[in-house]
């Protein structure tokens, strides 16, 4: 039964990674990447490595997509309004 779980989790990881490669828009990639992080965490847990799964959760499903989204926002805002120092926090939009 464990083998079935591992196989399904592996297939999910492979599918999510392929989808992340095939998506061209970085914002969409960020969401697929967060799915990939969760799928990897599931796989690690089924392989009896919950400590690795915990760090994978923090890095893969939260930090990496967040960094991508922040980068995309920063890059897109640059050409239009570059007057004044940029204020990251606060009320953009």
Partner 1 sequence: MSASDGWLAAALVPLLALVPVLWRIAHGSPEDRLIGQNLTSLLAGLALLLAAQGFHRTSYNDVALVVSVLGPTGTLIYARFLDVLPDSRLVRWTALVGVPATVLPLCAATGPGRAMVKLLLIGALLIAGSVVTSTSGGKGGVTA
**Binding residues for partner 1 (CB under 8 A):** 1-2, 4-5, 8-9, 11-12, 15-16, 19, 22-23, 27-28, 30-32, 34-35, 38-39, 41-42, 45-46, 48, 50, 53-54, 57-58, 61-62, 65-66, 69, 73, 93
* Nearer Cβ to partner 1 (79/93): 93
Shortest CB 91 distance to partner 1, Å: 8
Give DSSP secondary structure letters for 37-77.
HHHHHHHHHHTT-HHHHHHHIIIIIIIHHHHHHHHHHHHHH
CA-based angle 21:24:28, to the nearest 5?
90
């Amino acid at each position: 039964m464990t083998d079935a779980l591992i196989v399904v989790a592996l297939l999910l990881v492979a599918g999510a990674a392929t989808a992340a490669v095939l998506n061209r828009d970085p914002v969409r990639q960020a969401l697929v990447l967060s799915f990939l992080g969760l799928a990897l965490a599931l796989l690690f847990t089924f392989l009896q490595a919950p400590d690795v799964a915990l760090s994978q959760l923090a890095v893969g499903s939260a930090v990496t997509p967040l960094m991508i989204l922040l980068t995309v926002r920063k890059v897109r805002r640059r050409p239009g309004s570059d007057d004044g120092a940029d204020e990251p926090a606060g009320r953009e939009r």
